[in-house]
Amino acid sequence: MSGNWQAGQPAVVGAKASPSKLAAGLHFIATPIGAARDITLRALDILATADVLVAEDTRSLRHLMEIHGVSLDHRPLISYHDQNGDQARPKVMAHLAEGKSVVYASEAGTPLVADPGYQLGRAAIEADVSVFTAPGPSAALAALTISGLPSDRFLFAGFPPRTSKAKQEWFRTMDNASATMIFYESPKRVKDTLEDLGAAYGFDRQVVICRELTKRFEEALRGTVAELQAALADREIKGEIVILVDRAGKREAVPEDIEAALRKLLPDMSVKDASAEVAQHFGLKRREVYQIALGMAEK
Ligand code: SAM
């Protein structure tokens, strides 16, 4: 469960945190996704000095502060989550309007990433209040880092819809992005989701399942959809899960596609330039495409 912090081994911290007066405004801080010591020194400074604390889960934040020896003293601690946002936001905004420094932490990881915070941030920006961040852990980026899948372009998609039909449709609309896809899933639905992934993309698509990142039972399972289905068939899946999906493989360029692309460009370009552009698009050699273009001219 998120908020179930694990203390881990003490690290050597060179400089003592020296919090100075915190700027007025809304400070989003990231909190650990498992290992309590993944909190940043800046986030601790902000927690120690903010005038008002706001948390998705006030108990989790208190626990985290206790672990790190940050006391609440007599400062207000306001609960702000998806269910009470509309009622809680005016209270938070009133503190901001008074020029207070307000810190917001979601239950675990980075606020706004499949977590509350977006509407609060918008309200602050619309009220001309400064918004800051102390960045840190997020399960999506932690998973991407260890996945072994291409990280040049990725698409974070939050949680998928629940029903099989909606989920398959959701997957299909995302494949055009040509990016590593990252999403969160409940452990209870992982097996069904693999089936829907296979139906949408084929059972030979590469997938990585990251479980319990930064925690004691952390693991990463890598393979095709079919391989992971086989690996998990007899297992009950527990803990927190991120699923990553590789983009579709490069489609083999067939001669018809190359000729069609050349036909589009040739009226406005020289044979040489059109061939160069088409070659780059399909990842082919220029000479090869140039020969095709010359062949077309002779037809
Ligand atoms: N804001 C958070 C972030 O930045 O990652 C995500 C919050 S979202 C409500 C919670 C989901 O994140 C979990 O259901 C799981 O899919 C994923 N998650 C959080 N911690 C994780 C961990 N330690 N290992 C794997 N996935 C995790």
For ligand 1, what atom is nearest to the CA of residue 34? 23
pLDDT at 261: 86
Residue 131: closest CA among 10, 26, 283: 26
Is the distance from the beta carbon of residue 105 to the nearest atom of ligand 1 less than 6 Å? no
Spatial CB neighbours of 133, under 8 Å, sequence gap ≥ 6: 27, 28, 29, 30
Please name the amino acid found at residue 282: F
Separation between Cα atoms, residue 247 and residue 181, nearest integer Å:
7
Q: Report in angstroms the alpha-carbon separations of 24 from 27, 94, 98, 104, 191.
A: 9, 13, 9, 13, 47
Residue 227 has a pLDDT of 98
Hey, is 150 helix, strand or coil? coil
Domain segments of the chain: what residues? 25-137, 140-245, 255-298
Task: Assess whether the C-beta atom of 154 lies below 6 angstroms from ligand 1.
Answer: no
Question: What's the CA gap between 15 and 221, in Å, rounded?
Answer: 38
Residue 17 has what pLDDT?
A: 47
What is the signed CA dihedral for 233, 235, 239, 240, rounded to 10 degrees? Answer: -20
At 191, is the secondary structure helix, strand, or coil?
helix
Cα(109) to ligand 1 centroid in Å equals 7
Q: Is the CB of 182 under 6 A from ligand 1?
A: no
Q: What is the pLDDT of residue 19?
A: 54
The torsion angles phi and psi of 34, rounded to 5 degrees, stand at: 180, -65
The Cα–Cα gap between 265 and 58 comes to 61
CATH 3.30.950.10 fits 140-245, yes or no: yes
Q: Which of 145, 215, 221, 241 to probe ligand 1 with, by most ligand atoms within 8 A of CB? A: 241
- What is the fold of 25-137? Cobalt-precorrin-4 Transmethylase; domain 1 (3.40.1010)
Mutate to test the pocket of ligand 1, among 28, 38, 184 (most ligand atoms within 8 A of CB): 184
Instruction: Per-residue pLDDT tens, the chain, 299 aa: give them.
Output: 556 666 654 444 444 445 578 999 999 999 999 999 999 999 999 999 999 999 999 999 999 999 999 999 999 999 999 999 999 999 999 999 999 999 999 999 999 999 999 999 999 999 999 999 999 999 999 999 999 999 999 999 999 999 999 999 999 999 888 899 999 999 999 999 999 999 999 999 999 999 999 999 999 999 999 999 999 999 999 999 999 999 998 656 778 888 988 998 898 899 999 998 888 777 788 999 999 999 887 76
Q: In what order do the strands lie in the sheet with 25-29?
A: 77-79, 52-55, 101-105, 25-29, 131-134
Q: How far is the CA of 34 from the centre of ligand 1 (A)?
A: 9
Give residue 44's identity as a one-letter amino acid code: L
What is the pTM for the complete model shown?
A: 0.82
